[in-house]
């Protein structure tokens, strides 16, 4: 009997639910959040009282005591911050939840500013003074790494007063300007002719039509979206120019990074040459996706895809998978990979740390929130019973498993750095996708699943890498006085390189860059998506080749969390980030998927 039949026939074990947050705040308290904020303030004040003791003669034992106390303060801060986020995510229409989130954000900013003195003091010590105080790496590895990380940032840190000014400046200056970008773009309404008639849509509603089967709807949706951003181009581009200059003035001018992207690489703790290699390999393999676009055009009966059609669904059938069979399928696939995977994932359900039901006011999408090493992560998903919901559930539970495997570290050591953050989640998604493909007997459904998976990989790998390539050019151009029209032309040239002759590019796409929030919010962030996806695809290739012998290495990688530098963690797993051959392994997996999709066209 197939897994599908077995899961459907068994009695239901899981029902959609909302999560329980009582582990974060006491439900018996009259005002639990106020109590938590007061306790946080007291903990910060108690740590501030140690300022006078800080000196080169502090002593190694006392330094360890202080770092452990600081850990406890950071954990308290994480609990308060997470409670506000999770409560608001469960009901975004709650005025009380929104108000409390504002209070928490202010309290967290204040706490971080007050705790900054310890980091500044530690970085002010000479190398000899710091070495005399540092703990033995073999005895206190997490504390040693935390202190070493603070020292690593030393060359780019300013004095305490300057750092505090930057925090205040960012909060009420640049962050305020980025908030203005968000307000301007989120208030956009789009008048659109839907199959039901003329409607006023928000962006999310409008973008749903770029996946429509009707080519006219896809094109009209993009024209409506890009036309709105083009009309606002002078204002939005001005915000972007200020963002670019502020970033360069702080990161290059004040902190001394060699380039604007170098600051992001340093924050991610990834060598510049590794990022350059990653971006280069992505550009070298653009033709692989061109092959996919030509295949999709042939299936859609088009001589060539237009950019409107890149995410067009090819004919096929989605499959309904109710919640209970979907959960048990994921847990079963996890169990077959390794019992620890299913054990940790099951904890999320057993401890009621998942919010899976559909309801008005709940945040859309899905995420996993790791709070502290002592607590099982919380997972949010909106389960509608489609194939993509099963892969999304596997993805978010993969994040949770990653955190729990790394729970033996302190707060800073548990959380993987940004480039490694998707190492378990995308891998879990690959496991469930492989299972679904192996079980699926209907060719049309298999074609649908393969095509949508490759669509997602394109969006996560090539598209994100090209965003960063554009940013590198755009930052240089802004500093040279480029206008918004110049930036439009730069972006259009970027698209031409990305799609080659496989996709027709309508002129209105030159303004698309204005609609990408990450370019404004977090410069050069997007390569982390390419990094994470290709890293996992390459690791998955090794799993396919090595089988059981791969698993201990992989579990060791996940258990390290963020307790060492990414290059060190990956070197232990036999990965050289600067070797193009490693990144090419990921593209081998993509090529096989495209070949498998091609086979469904002839079967």
Task: Give the model's pLDDT for residue 181.
Answer: 84
At CA 29, angle to CA 24 and CA 34, rounded to 5?
70
Closest listed residue to residue 333, CA positions, set 401, 227, 250, 431: 431
Residue 10 has a pLDDT of: 63
Per residue in 431-446, pLDDT tens? Answer: 999 999 888 888 888 8
Quickly state the pLDDT bin for 194 (edges 50, 70, 90).
confident
Whether 348 has a pLDDT exceeding 90, the answer reads yes
Question: 34 vs 40, 75, 77, 393, CA distance in Å?
Answer: 10, 17, 13, 34
Nearest residue to 594 (alpha-carbon basis) of 410, 494, 462, 480: 462
3-state secondary structure 544-599: HHHHHHHHHHHHHHHHCCCCCCHHHHHHHCCCCCCCHHHHHHHHHHHHHHHHHHHH
Q: Read off the pLDDT of each residue in 149-162 and give the average, rounded to a whole number.
A: 90
pLDDT digit string (tens) for 57-82?
999 999 999 999 999 999 999 999 99
Does residue 601 register a pLDDT over 80?
A: no
Torsional sign, CA 173, 36, 382, 197: negative
Model confidence at 327: pLDDT above 90? yes
Residue 603's pLDDT is what? 59
Asked whether the beta carbons of 56 and 133 are under 8 A apart, the reply is yes
Name the percent of the chain lying above pLDDT 90: 67
Q: How confident is the model at residue 508 (pLDDT cuts 50, 70, 90)?
A: very high
What tens digit of pLDDT does each residue of 100-118 get? 888 888 898 899 999 999 9
DSSP state of 29: S
Give the pLDDT of residue 1: 41
CA nearest 103: which of 75, 126, 131, 84?
84
Q: How confident is the model at residue 388 (pLDDT cuts 50, 70, 90)?
A: confident
Place of tokens 């960012």: 170
Helix H or strand E encompassing 245 = helix 233-248
Predicted pLDDT of residue 318: 62
Confidence bin at 230 (pLDDT 50/70/90): very high
Residue 159 reports pLDDT greater than 70: yes
The mean of the pLDDT values for the chain is 91
Lowest mean pLDDT among 159-173, 270-284, 415-429, 547-561: 159-173
Nearest to residue 229, comparing CAs of 511, 576, 595?
511
Q: CA-to-CA distance for 227 and 217, rounded, in angstroms?
A: 15
């Amino acid at each position: 009997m197939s897994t599908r039949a077995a899961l459907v026939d068994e009695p239901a074990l899981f029902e959609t639910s909302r999560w329980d947050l009582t582990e974060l705040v006491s439900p018996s308290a009259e005002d639990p959040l106020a109590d938590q904020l007061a306790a946080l303030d007291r903990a910060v004040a108690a740590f501030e009282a140690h300022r006078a003791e800080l000196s080169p003669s502090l002593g190694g034992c006392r330094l360890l005591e202080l770092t452990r106390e600081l850990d406890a303060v950071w954990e308290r801060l994480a609990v308060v911050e997470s409670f506000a986020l999770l409560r608001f995510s469960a009901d975004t229409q709650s005025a009380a939840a929104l108000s409390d989130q504002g209070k928490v954000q202010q309290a967290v900013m204040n706490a971080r500013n007050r705790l900054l003195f310890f980091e500044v003091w530690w970085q002010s010590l000479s190398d000899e003074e710091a070495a005399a105080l540092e703990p033995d790496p073999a005895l206190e590895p997490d504390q040693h790494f935390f202190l070493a990380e603070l020292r690593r940032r030393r060359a780019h840190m300013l004095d305490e007063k300057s750092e505090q000014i930057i925090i205040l400046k960012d909060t009420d200056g640049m962050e305020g300007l980025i908030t203005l970008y968000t307000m301007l773009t989120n208030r956009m309404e789009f008048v659109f002719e839907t199959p039901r008639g003329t409607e006023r849509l928000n962006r999310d509603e409008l973008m749903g039509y770029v996946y429509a089967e009707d080519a006219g709807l896809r094109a009209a949706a993009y024209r409506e979206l890009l036309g709105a951003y083009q009309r606002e181009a002078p204002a939005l581009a001005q915000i972007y120019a200020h963002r670019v200059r502020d970033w360069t003035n702080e990161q290059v001018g004040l902190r001394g990074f060699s380039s604007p992207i170098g600051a992001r690489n340093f924050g991610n703790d990834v060598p510049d040459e590794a990022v350059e290699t990653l971006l280069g390999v992505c550009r070298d393999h653009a033709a692989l996706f061109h092959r996919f676009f030509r295949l999709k055009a042939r299936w859609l009966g088009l001589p060539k895809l237009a950019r409107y059609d890149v995410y067009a669904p090819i004919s096929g059938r989605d499959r309904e998978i109710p919640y209970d069979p979907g959960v048990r399928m994921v847990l079963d696939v996890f169990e077959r990979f390794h019992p620890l995977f299913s054990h940790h994932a099951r904890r999320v359900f057993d401890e009621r740390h998942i919010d899976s039901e559909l309801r008005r006011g709940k945040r859309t999408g899905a995420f996993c929130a790791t709070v502290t090493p002592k607590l099982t992560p919380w997972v949010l998903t909106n389960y509608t019973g489609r194939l993509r919901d099963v892969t999304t559930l596997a993805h978010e539970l993969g994040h949770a498993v990653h955190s729990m495997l790394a729970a033996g570290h302190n707060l800073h050591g548990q959380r993987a750095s940004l480039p490694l953050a998707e190492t378990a989640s995308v891998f879990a998604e690959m496991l469930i996708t492989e299972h679904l493909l192996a079980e699926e007997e209907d060719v049309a459904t298999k074609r649908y699943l393969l095509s949508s998976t490759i669509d997602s990989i394109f969006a996560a790998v090539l598209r994100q890498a090209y965003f960063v390539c554009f940013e590198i050019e755009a930052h240089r151009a802004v500093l040279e006085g480029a206008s918004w029209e110049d930036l439009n032309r730069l972006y259009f040239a970027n698209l031409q390189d990305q799609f080659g002759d496989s996709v027709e590019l309508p002129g209105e796409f030159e303004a698309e860059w204005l609609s990408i929030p990450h370019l404004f919010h977090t410069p050069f962030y997007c390569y982390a998506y390419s990094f994470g996806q290709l890293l996992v695809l390459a690791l998955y290739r090794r799993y396919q080749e090595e089988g059981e012998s791969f698993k201990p290495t992989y579990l060791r990688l996940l258990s390290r969390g963020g307790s060492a530098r990414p290059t060190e963690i990956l070197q232990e797993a036999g990965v050289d980030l600067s070797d193009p051959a490693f990144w090419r392994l990921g593209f081998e997996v993509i090529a096989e998927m495209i070949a498998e999709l091609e086979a469904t066209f002839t079967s």
